[in-house]
C-alpha cells in the first residue's frame, strides 16, 4: 500500500528531489511493523491458548463444556466446565442486572440533575471507582463485605424472600452473593461513564423540544434520551458483561469455590476465571493444567464474542445517528 500512498502524496510535494524518501519509508515500515506485531500478538494469544488446551480438547472434546467434574486425583482424573460456566453466568448476569439501573441512574444524575459544581467532582469520583484494582476490591470483599453480607443482609433476605430458592440459608462466609456484589461494583463505573458520555451526546434541540412540548424531565429522558442512546447503552452493557465474565481475582477471593450447580446465592460457587486464578500454584498433572487452559479458552471465546458484539452494536447505532464512537471499556 506504500505505492498507493506515494502516488497520492506525489503531487503535494513537487519540490522533493527523490520520489520516495528513505526516512519516510523507514518510519512507515517500523510503525507498520508495530501494528503488524499487535495483530500477530492477538493471533498468538488465540493460538497459544488453543495449543495449551489441546490435551484436554482432544481427550474431552466439547463434552468438557457440559460435564460437572473437577477431580485431579491421578487415576480418577475427570474434568468438566459446566459448574464454572453456570457460576460465571449466574454472577455476571446478576451483576449486570444490579448494575444497569444504578449505572443509568448515575449517568442521568451526572448529565441532567447534578448541580453544576457537583458534576465534575462526582464524575471524577465515579471514574476513580473504576481505577481501584480488583485485588483491593477482593481484599475488602473477603474481609469486610463478605462477613457483613453474611451476618446482616443474607439472613434478612432469607427470612423475607426465603420461599425463592435463590435466597437460601446463609453459608459460612464466602458466597456467590458476595461475588455478585463485588462484580456489580466493578462494572458499575464502566457502564455509568459510557452512558454519561452517550447522554451528553444527545442533541440539545431534541431535549429542549420535548420539554417545550410540556413533558416532564423523566418523560423527556424516556422519550428522547433513551431511544437516542439505546445502541450505545447496549454496547456499554455488553462491555460491562464482558468485564464481569473475565474478572478472576476479586471473584476467586470471595466466592469460595466448589464443583456443583445449585441455586442458593448464599452458598459457595466458582467461575471460569476464579477457578483458573485459584489454581495458580500449579497443577499436579498435564491433563489438569490443560483443562485449566481449556477453561481459559472458553473465557477467551466469550470475550471475543462479547467484544465483536459490542463493536457491531456501536457501528450499527453510529450509522443510524451519523456519529462515530469508539467502544472502550
Partner 1 sequence: MSSAGFELGGNHLTRRRRVNLGMEMLAWLAATIALAVLGIMVYAVAGRGSSELNLDLITKQPIPFSLTNAPQGLSNAFAGTIVLVAFATAMALPVGILVAVYLNEFAPPSIRNGVTLILDILNGVPAIVIGIFVYGLLVLGNGQSGFAGSFALACLMLPLVARATMEVLVLVPNSLREAALGLGIARWRTTLSIVLPQTIGGILTGTVLAVARVAGETAPLLFTSSLVGNKPSWNPAHALQSIPVAIFELSESPDPKDHARAWAAAFVLLLFILFASLGARWLALRSRRKLTAR
Window 29-58: residues binding partner 1 (CB under 8 A) = 30-35, 37-39, 41-42, 44-45, 48-49, 51-52
268-to-177, 230, 249 alpha-carbon distances in Å: 9, 36, 16
Q: Exposed/middle/buried for 60, CB within 10 Å: 0-12, 13-18, 19+? A: buried
Are 81 and 271 a contacting pair, CB within 8 Å?
no
CB of 77: closest distance to partner 1 in angstroms?
A: 19
- Contact between 142 and partner 1 (CB under 8 A)? yes
Task: Tell me, rounded to whole angstroms, the distance of Cα 109 from its chain centroid.
Answer: 23
Nearer to partner 1 among residue 19 and residue 76 (C-beta): 19
Positions in 216-255 near partner 1 (CB under 8 A)? 216-219, 221-223, 227, 239, 242, 245-249, 253
Query: Given candidates 311, 318, 321, 325, which one binds partner 1 under the rule CB under 8 A?
Result: 311
Cell numbers that stand for 24 in this block:
519516510
Comparing C-alpha atoms, which of 188, 193, 310 is closest to residue 244?
Answer: 188
CB of 70: closest distance to partner 1 in angstroms?
A: 17
Stretch that binds partner 1, among 73-81, 112-120, 158-166, 260-268 (CB under 8 A): 112-120
168-to-49, 121, 154, 156 alpha-carbon distances in Å: 38, 40, 9, 11
Positions in 189-208 near partner 1 (CB under 8 A)? 189, 192
47-to-34, 54, 91, 287, 300 alpha-carbon distances in Å: 20, 10, 28, 18, 11
Nearer to partner 1 among residue 169 and residue 216 (C-beta): 216
DSSP secondary structure letter of residue 18: S
Are 190 and 310 a contacting pair, CB within 8 Å?
no
C-alpha–C-alpha distance, residues 211 and 206, integer Å: 9
Query: Given candidates 55, 110, 179, 265, which one binds partner 1 under the rule CB under 8 A?
Result: 110
C-alpha–C-alpha distance, residues 207 and 6, integer Å: 47
Nearer to partner 1 among residue 111 and residue 264 (C-beta): 111
CB of 240: closest distance to partner 1 in angstroms?
A: 12
CB of 163: closest distance to partner 1 in angstroms?
A: 27
Query: Given candidates 10, 89, 143, 200, which one binds partner 1 under the rule CB under 8 A?
Result: 143
Query: Given candidates 27, 172, 200, 323, which one binds partner 1 under the rule CB under 8 A?
Result: 27
Nearer to partner 1 among residue 84 and residue 264 (C-beta): 84
CB of 62: closest distance to partner 1 in angstroms?
A: 20
- Contact between 66 and partner 1 (CB under 8 A)? no
- Contact between 65 and partner 1 (CB under 8 A)? no
Which helix (H) or strand (E) element contains residue 101? helix 82-108
Stretch that binds partner 1, among 55-63, 67-75, 125-133, 159-167 (CB under 8 A): 125-133
116-to-108, 221, 241 alpha-carbon distances in Å: 13, 19, 31
Positions in 249-308 near partner 1 (CB under 8 A)? 249, 253, 273, 276-277, 280-281, 292-293, 296, 299-300, 303-304, 306-308
User: Which distant-in-sequence residues (6+ apart) come within 8 Å of 231 by Cβ?
Assistant: 313, 314, 316, 317, 318, 320, 321
Cell numbers that stand for 218 in this block:
423523566
- Contact between 313 and partner 1 (CB under 8 A)? no
Stretch that binds partner 1, among 71-79, 151-159, 213-221, 260-268 (CB under 8 A): 213-221
- Contact between 134 and partner 1 (CB under 8 A)? yes
Q: List the beta bridge partners of residue 71.
A: 78
Amino acid at each position: 500500500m506504500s505505492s498507493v500512498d506515494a502516488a497520492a502524496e506525489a503531487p503535494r510535494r513537487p519540490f522533493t528531489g527523490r520520489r520516495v524518501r528513505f526516512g519516510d519509508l523507514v518510519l512507515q515500515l517500523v510503525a507498520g511493523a508495530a501494528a503488524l506485531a499487535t495483530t500477530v500478538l492477538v493471533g498468538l494469544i488465540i493460538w497459544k491458548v488453543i495449543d495449551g488446551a489441546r490435551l484436554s480438547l482432544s481427550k474431552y472434546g466439547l463434552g468438557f463444556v457440559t460435564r460437572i467434574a473437577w477431580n485431579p486425583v491421578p487415576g480418577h482424573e475427570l474434568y468438566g466446565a459446566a459448574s464454572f460456566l453456570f457460576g460465571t453466568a449466574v454472577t455476571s448476569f446478576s451483576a449486570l442486572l444490579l448494575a444497569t439501573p444504578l449505572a443509568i441512574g448515575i449517568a442521568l444524575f451526572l448529565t441532567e440533575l447534578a448541580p453544576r459544581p457537583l458534576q465534575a467532582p462526582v464524575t471524577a469520583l465515579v471514574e476513580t471507582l473504576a481505577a481501584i484494582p480488583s485485588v483491593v476490591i477482593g481484599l475488602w470483599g473477603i474481609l469486610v463485605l463478605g462477613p457483613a453480607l453474611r451476618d446482616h443482609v443474607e439472613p434478612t433476605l432469607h427470612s423475607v424472600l426465603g420461599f425463592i430458592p435463590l435466597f437460601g440459608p446463609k453459608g459460612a462466609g464466602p458466597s456467590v452473593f458476595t461475588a455478585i456484589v463485588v462484580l456489580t461494583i466493578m462494572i458499575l463505573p464502566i457502564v455509568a461513564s459510557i452512558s454519561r458520555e452517550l447522554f451528553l451526546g444527545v442533541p440539545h434541540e431534541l431535549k429542549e423540544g420535548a420539554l417545550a412540548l410540556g413533558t416532564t424531565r423523566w418523560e423527556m429522558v424516556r422519550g428522547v434520551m433513551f431511544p437516542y442512546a439505546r445502541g450505545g447503552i447496549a454496547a456499554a452493557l455488553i462491555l460491562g458483561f464482558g468485564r464481569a465474565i473475565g474478572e478472576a481475582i476479586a471473584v476467586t477471593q470471595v466466592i469460595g469455590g466448589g464443583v456443583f450447580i445449585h441455586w442458593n446465592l448464599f452458598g459457595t460457587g466458582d467461575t471460569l476465571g476464579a477457578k483458573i486464578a485459584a489454581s495458580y500454584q500449579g497443577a499436579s498433572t498435564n491433563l489438569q493444567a490443560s483443562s485449566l487452559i481449556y477453561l481459559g479458552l472458553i473465557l477467551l471465546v466469550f470475550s471475543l464474542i462479547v467484544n465483536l458484539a459490542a463493536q457491531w452494536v456501536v457501528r450499527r447505532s453510529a450509522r443510524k445517528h451519523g456519529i462515530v464512537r469508539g467502544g472502550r471499556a
